Amino acid sequence: MAETIDDTPCAALFIGGSAGSLDVLLEIFPALRNDIPFPIVLVVHRKASNESLLTDLLKSRTKLAVSEANEKEFLSPGKVFIAPADYHMLIEQDQSISLDYSEKVNYSRPSIDVTFQSAAEVFKEKLVCILLSGSNADGVEGLKSVNNFKGRVVIQNPYTAIMPYMPQQAVLNVEPHVVLDSHDMADYINNLND
């Protein structure tokens, strides 16, 4: 496992994924500590018809509070916010959530790029973003913004991804702080502010 030395505290963790990422999330969440000192935001490509499936699955696997994100809701530590299906999710300067129904980005709504870019502008060097398995390049431009604002970029090892295209594009186009196998991600997250 690659290691990175960075003492900047994490103020927010954002995770993006598409096809094949559910398996990784179901591996990560049961192993997360219960006193995570920052909010976790998930942006996962999914059909609107399966809207509550992801929320219900994660609720059953973690003691952290998990819910669909709501318009104007504020991000709070120790809580998991899931971008609603078919809406872009942006983060405002006051760390509240804004939902948007504008056109798709990378054939996706929610778009990982849109969320990562808005989060980078708000949290700057205190942001950590993880990009997981997927079959398009959504997330690459968002991770570039995270790097530009001195946040941390974490990418799933494409060789461990069910759909390697998304993390592969990220590794090729963005300078990651660390590339992790899926089984190392929970430890990485648990130790972010230690």
Determine which one of 21, 45, 113, 118 is catalytic: 45
In a domain, 174, yes or no: yes
In a domain, 1, yes or no: no
The reply to whether 45 belongs to the active site is: yes
- Whole-angstrom CA distances from 150 to 48, 114, 120, 122, 194 are 34, 17, 9, 12, 19
pLDDT at 51: 60
Assign residue 72 the CATH number of its domain: 3.40.50.180
pLDDT at 2: 41
Backbone phi, psi, residue 163, to 5°: -120, 95
In a domain, 121, yes or no: yes
In a domain, 5, yes or no: no
In a domain, 4, yes or no: no
Q: How many domains does the chain have?
A: 1
**Token pair recorded at residue 109:** 């709504």
The reply to whether 138 belongs to the active site is: yes
Torsion sign over Cα 112, 118, 119, 125: positive
| Tens of pLDDT, residue by residue, the chain (194 residues) | 344 456 789 999 999 999 999 999 999 999 999 999 999 999 999 877 666 788 999 999 999 999 999 999 999 999 999 999 999 999 999 999 999 999 999 889 999 999 999 999 999 999 999 999 999 999 999 999 999 999 999 999 999 999 999 999 999 999 999 999 999 999 999 999 87
Where in the sequence is the domain holding 141, given as residue range(s)?
12-190
In a domain, 125, yes or no: yes
Determine the residue type at 24: V
Determine which one of 88, 111, 138, 177 is catalytic: 138
Determine which one of 18, 111, 133, 145 is catalytic: 18
pLDDT at 36: 96
The reply to whether 18 belongs to the active site is: yes
Instruction: Give the 3-state secondary structure of residue 190.
Output: helix
Cβ(143)–Cβ(167) below 8 Å: no
Global pTM?
A: 0.95
pLDDT at 34: 94
